[in-house]
């Protein structure tokens, strides 16, 4: 699984959770908070992405996630 595939999965889930966004709004440089995601939305994006990718990442590791790139990196390490 490539980083690009993981990013695409995260992006599709961001768009599902925040349907008002345009696809171009979601980039690896941005944060979920900047895109308007609250804590519940962020949890939804993460859990939906883990399910789509068939991954289980320990909850404690999400503490290091501060933007979409670090989320993709974390998921990639467990892929």
Partner 1 sequence: MNVGIEALNVYCGLAQIPVPALFEGRGLDAERLGNLMMRNRSVGLPFEDPVTNAVNAARPIADDDRIEILITSTESGLDYSKSVASYAHEYLGLPKSCRVVEVKQACYAATAAVQLAAAYVASGVSPGAKALVIATDVALVDERAAYAEPAMGAGAAAVLISDRPRILDLDLGAFGNHSYETMDSARPEPTFDIADSDRSLFAYLDCLTNCLAGYQAKVDNADFATTFDYLAMHTPFAGMVKAAHRKLMRESGGGTASVEEDFERRMLPSLAYPSRVGNLCSGSVYLALASLIDHAALDGAARVGLYSYGSGCSSEFFSGLVDEESARTLAAMRIGDQLDGRCELGFDEYAALLPATLTCLVPERDREVDVGAYEHLLGRARFDRDLLVNTGTKDYHRTYEWLAR
Distances (CA, A) of 59 to 7, 36, 77: 19, 22, 14
Nearer to partner 1, 4 or 36 (CB): 36
Distances (CA, A) of 72 to 3, 15, 20, 64: 7, 16, 22, 12
Alpha carbon dihedral 1, 28, 44, 79, in 10-degree steps, equals: 20
Q: Which stretch binds partner 1 (CB under 8 A): 5-13, 22-30, 46-54, 68-76?
A: 46-54
51 is a site residue for partner 1 (CB under 8 A): yes
- Answer for which of 6, 35, 45, 46 binds partner 1 (CB under 8 A) is 46
Binding string, residues 20-39; x marks residues near partner 1 by CB under 8 A: ------------------xx
19 is a site residue for partner 1 (CB under 8 A): no
């Amino acid at each position: 699984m490539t980083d690009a595939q993981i990013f695409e999965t995260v992006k599709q889930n961001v768009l599902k959770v925040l349907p008002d966004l345009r696809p171009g709004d979601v980039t690896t440089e941005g944060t979920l908070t900047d895109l308007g995601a609250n804590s519940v939305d962020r949890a939804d994006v993460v859990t939906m992405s883990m399910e789509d990718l068939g991954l289980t990442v320990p909850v404690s590791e999400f503490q290091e996630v501060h933007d979409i790139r670090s989320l993709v990196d974390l998921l990639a390490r467990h892929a």
